[in-house]
Amino acid sequence: MVHDNNLCIGCQACNVACRSENKIPDSVYRLQVWVKQEEYPNGSLGYEYHRQSCVHCENTPCVSVCPTKASHVNEDGIVLVDNDLCVGCLYCVAACPYQARYVHPVTKAPDKCTFCHESRLSRGEEPACVTVCPTEALVFGDLLDPKSKINKVLSERVTYRQKERLGTKPKMYIVPNHKGGINS
Amino acid sequence: MEQYNTVVWHWPIAVYLFLAGLSAGAIISAIVVKWMKGNDVSPWDGIIKAGAILAPVTIGAGLCLLIFDLTRPLMFWKLLIHYNFGSVMTIGVLALFAYMPVSILFLLGVFKKELAVDGPFKFLAPIADLALNYGKALEAITLVLAVGVGAYTGFLLSAMNSYPLLNTPVLPALFLASGVSAGISANLVVGLLFFTHSTKDANVSYLHGLDVKVIFAELFFIFILFVGMMYQGGATAHAGAAALGTGGLSTLLWVGVIGLGLLLPIGLNFALPHGVKHSHAFVIFNALIVLVGVLALRYYMLYAGQTFVG
């Protein structure tokens, strides 16, 4: 997935669509957009939009530490939790450098963004956050298909990934704000 | 919002880390004493008896605490049948799988008379004999497993690159050293209080002297930990500086861990006259402050590690 900071307006429609699609309990979030005020060197002001959610790493700290393989990566490269195997040690919650996981208040197992894998993706639709985004700041698709829309976007826009120094290789690409510096 | 709190593991984990280190340290120091000339025959020295009891009891208590701290405690048995060999937690489960029985075997061998001859566990006599007949081999295996249990708790935390204070190669060494120190101290307290007549003064002085050396090693490991963070620069250096100087946690480090737990025992050891230093009351007092210091270290590392993320 691609999140374009220049198109995002911080409206939280993605957050709300995610909650409604995935029936997220009131106290927790799979997805939020954190809006941060920035001051540029010439004194003008602007906003930075951070998508706070699972970045679906290729080298997954959460999956590596899980003692029962409840945390796993499926064949599409999506990071998921198998509740039947989870004992609730919370090692994955602690090990995630992106704070993408929370304890589900009902199942007591860690829960997280699944790219709507269990619902919309299986019906051939895009994740709820992507569909609802009014500015098309989110682009979703198959990274392995050179002809996919996401690979077109990745070839045309400058992108970076969060905390790249950790070697996690997220599959969440950020198009940085065209103004100011990048805080990766 | 609670879900974005970086502190995921709470005090029961700190107590478990303390108990696991103590258990490993207790059986390591008991075996070291048992292997010394003159100690390898029954009646066993009080230190050996103390270690034989403490090791299985403390690890058992720690594991109970750990299971009840899971968010889904009734599912804990899945840990025993599903493995991920890339996870330190699985390696820990397997190490404990082997460590629990050998530590109980060691207990049976040392307390054969009390448990299997005069006591209620007469059916265990053949197993106690086995533990005694193959004592050296059993102890060698136990020693290796105990080092594994003592160090794995450090690897468990250092495996997470989300926490700069924990993600450091010196942590397993620090935890093993402080675990040995806690084990020695607990053995001294239990040996001197409950097995007063069978605890030889020579063994008490030997272990007490060994403890002082281990404490110097711990101080050096803590020094390496923070200097290493400074040299890494950036967010890691920031987290290190914050962990050394922010809030109640840094007070706990300086006063509880370093002051009370490490410097005071070293200071008293050099300052006090020989007669006082070798009195049982002083050795017990000294051991108790060391134990408080090691518990404070585990608590500090767990909370500061998860709090100061750079």
Instruction: Mark residue B9 as left, alpha or beta (left: phi above 0; alpha: psi -120 to 50; beta: remaining).
Output: beta
Q: Chain B: nearest CA to A183, how far in angstroms? A: 12
d(CA A29, CA A112): 8
Is pLDDT at B306 greater than 80 in this prediction?
A: yes
Bond preceding residue B43 cis, omega within 30 of 0: yes
Q: Do A67 and B90 touch (CB under 8 A)?
A: yes
Record: contact A87-B79, CB cut-off 8 A: yes
In this prediction, residue B275 carries a pLDDT of 87
Contact A136, A7 (CB under 8 A): yes
Mean pLDDT of the A45-70 span? 97
A64-120 pLDDT, tens digit each: 999 999 999 999 999 999 999 999 999 999 999 999 999 999 999 999 999 999 999
B3, B73, B79 member nearest A68 (Cβ):
B79
Query: CA torsion A83→A84→A87→A88, rounded to 10°?
Result: 10
The pLDDT score that the predictor gives to residue A123 is 95
Q: Look at A44-48, A54-58, B141-145 and tell me which has the smallest mean pLDDT.
A: A44-48
Contact across the interface for B72 and A88, Cβ inside 8 Å: yes
Spatial distance between the Cα atoms of B274 and B256, rounded to a whole number of angstroms: 26
Dist CA B292 CA B125 (whole Å): 38
In-domain check, residue A98: yes
| pLDDT tier for residue B241 given thresholds of 50, 70 and 90 | very high
In this predicted model, what pLDDT tens digit does every residue of B38-78 receive, in sequence order?
A: 888 888 999 999 999 999 999 999 999 999 999 999 999 99
Whether residues A64 and B9 touch (CB distance < 8 A) is answered with no
| Beta strand ranges found along A26-118 (DSSP E) | 32-39, 45-52, 71-73, 79-81, 102-103, 110-111
Q: Mean of the pLDDT values across residues B91-106? A: 97
Closest CA to B16 of B299, B305, B304: B299
Question: pLDDT tier at A152 (50, 70, 90 boundaries)?
Answer: very high
Nearest to A8 by CA among A136, A154, A155: A136
**Average pLDDT rounded to a whole number, residues B116-133:** 91
Give the torsion sign (CA, B279, B280, B284, B290).
positive
Q: Which of A54, A60, A68 to mutate to test the interface with B (most CBs of B within 10 A)?
A: A68
Domain assignment present for A180: no
Q: Which one-letter amino acid corresponds to residue B259?
A: G
Q: Per-residue pLDDT for B268 more than 90?
A: yes
Neighbour count for residue A184 (Cβ, 10 Å):
11
pLDDT band at B37 (very low <50, low <70, confident <90, very high): confident
Span B265-292, average pLDDT? 94
Quick check: pTM over 0.90?
A: yes
Task: Give me the mean pLDDT over the B89-93 stretch.
Answer: 97
Alpha-helical (H) ranges within B134-194 are 135-158, 171-194
* Closest by Cβ to B162, choosing from A90, A97, A108: A97
Residue-level pLDDT at B41: 85
Is A173 strand, coil or helix?
strand
- The mean pLDDT of chain B is 96
Report DSSP letters for B63-109, one per residue.
Answer: HHHHHHHSSSGGGTTHHHH---TT-HHHHHHHHHHHHHHHHHHHHHH
Label residue A81 left, alpha or beta by phi (over 0 means left) and psi (-120 to 50 means alpha).
beta
> Within a 10 A sphere around the Cβ of B272, how many other Cβ atoms?
14
Q: Is the pLDDT of residue A150 over 80?
A: yes
Residue type, B88: V
Residue A69 lies in a domain: yes
**What's A162's domain CATH number?**
3.30.70.20
A104 belongs to a structural domain: yes
Assigned domain for A68 exists: yes
Q: What pLDDT does A148 receive? A: 96
Percentage, residues of chain A above pLDDT 70: 99
**Residue B218 backbone phi and psi in degrees, to 5:** -60, -45
SS3 category, A28: coil
Residue A140 lies in a domain: yes
A108 with B160: Cβ contact below 8 A: no
Nearest to B70 among A70, A87, A102 (CB): A87
The confidence score (pLDDT) of residue A108 equals 97
Query: Which pLDDT belongs to residue B119?
Result: 87
Number of domains in chain A: 1
What's the average model confidence in pLDDT over B188-214?
A: 95
CATH of the domain at B61: 1.20.1630.10
With H, G, I as helix, E, B as strand and everything else as coil, classify residue A2. strand
Cα B73 → chain centroid: 24
Q: Count up the domains in chain B and report the number.
A: 1
Identify whether A184 is part of a domain: no
* Neighbour-count burial for B167-178, b at 16+ CB within 10 Å, e otherwise: bbebbbbbbbbb
**pLDDT for the residue B214:** 98
* Enclosing domain of residue A76: 2-175
Name the interface residues of A facing B (CB cutoff 8 Å).
27-29, 52, 61, 64-70, 85-91, 93-97, 99, 102-103, 108-109, 166
**Quick one: DSSP state of residue A72?**
E
Whether B75 sits inside 8 A of A88 (CB atoms) is: yes
Kindly state the average pLDDT of the residues B82-109. Answer: 97
- The residue segments making up the domain with residue B263 are 2-307
60-89 of B, contacting A, C-beta below 8 A: 70-73, 75-76, 78-79, 82-84, 86-89
On whether residue A19 sits in a domain, the answer given is yes
Mean pLDDT of B11-16: 98
